[in-house]
Amino acid sequence: MTEEVMIQGCLRNEAISQQELYYRYSPKMLSVCYRYAKSREDAEDMLQEGFIKVFTQIHQFQHRGALEGWIRRIIVHTCINNLKKNKKFSDSVDIIHAASVPVREENIPSILQAKQVVECIRLLPLGYRTVLNLYAIEGYSHREIADILDIEESTSRSQYTRAKAMLEDILIKKNILTKQSERTVWLSAVR
């Protein structure tokens, strides 16, 4: 089924088209949800909620970019709204915890496998993880992140810097990052 046929079917609420769209994009979107969620079950809940929004808002897709990008944006916003609704984000964005993390100029290695990086990112406190995901992976600016999360732009920058430092510490402790020469600009390559 072509993308256009699938979209037209979704606009008519045809189950077969909705199923095709879900099966085509849900694996990638689940990995997006997993980066924000505390557990696989939470990620699956976010995914389901996100696809409900996709189906109800499909008429707003204007073919200006890729359908996958449009879906991804809805999924990311669904994840953030879920965190805010459940107060999971605001409870963990405290600067007191951030003060204990040394900030380094070195970054994360670019040669790591994606699965290792995701697992290490999931070990970050939720506030750090959320800002890191939004900035480095999703490509939002600190101003956009501040608007999305209802925080100051300077808080977003601070959370991002501290998240990178904490992530590096985690990678070192797990012996994933061991050599000074492995410290390259990983996060800028992600964008």
| Per-residue pLDDT tens over the stretch 74-97 | 999 999 988 888 765 444 444 333
Q: For residue 46, what is the domain's CATH number?
A: 1.10.1740.10
Pick 153 or 122 by higher pLDDT. 153
Give yes or no for residue 143 having a pLDDT over 90: yes
Higher pLDDT, 50 or 96: 50
Domain finish residue from 57, 85, 113: 85
Instruction: Count Cα neighbours of 167 within 13 Å in the Cβ-side half-sphere.
Output: 31
In this structure, the answer to whether residues 106 and 179 fall within a common structural domain is yes
**Domains held by the chain: number:** 2
Q: Is residue 100 part of a domain?
A: yes
Are 114 and 172 within one domain?
yes
**Does residue 150 lie in a domain region?**
yes
Q: Compute the mean pLDDT over every residue in the chain, rounded to the nearest whole number.
A: 79
How much of the chain, in percent, has pLDDT values that exceed 90? 41
> Residue 127: what pLDDT?
87
- Looking at the structure, tell me whether residues 150 and 75 fall in a common domain: no
Q: Please write the tens of the pLDDT for every residue from 10-38.
A: 999 999 999 999 999 999 999 899 888 88
Domain boundary among 61, 85, 109: 85
Same domain membership, residue 70 and residue 20: yes
Domain containing residue 164: 95-190
Report the CATH number at residue 179. Answer: 1.10.10.10
Is the domain of 73 the same as that of 129? no
Maximum C-alpha span of the chain: 56
Assign 3-class secondary structure to the chain.
CCHHHHHHHHHCCCHHHHHHHHHHHHHHHHHHHHHHCCCHHHHHHHHHHHHHHHHHHHHHCCCCCCHHHHHHHHHHHHHHHHHHHCCCCCCCCCHHHHCCCCCCCCCCCCCCCHHHHHHHHCCCCHHHHHHHHHHHHCCCCHHHHHHHHCCCHHHHHHHHHHHHHHHHHHHHHCCCCCCHHHCCCHHHHHC
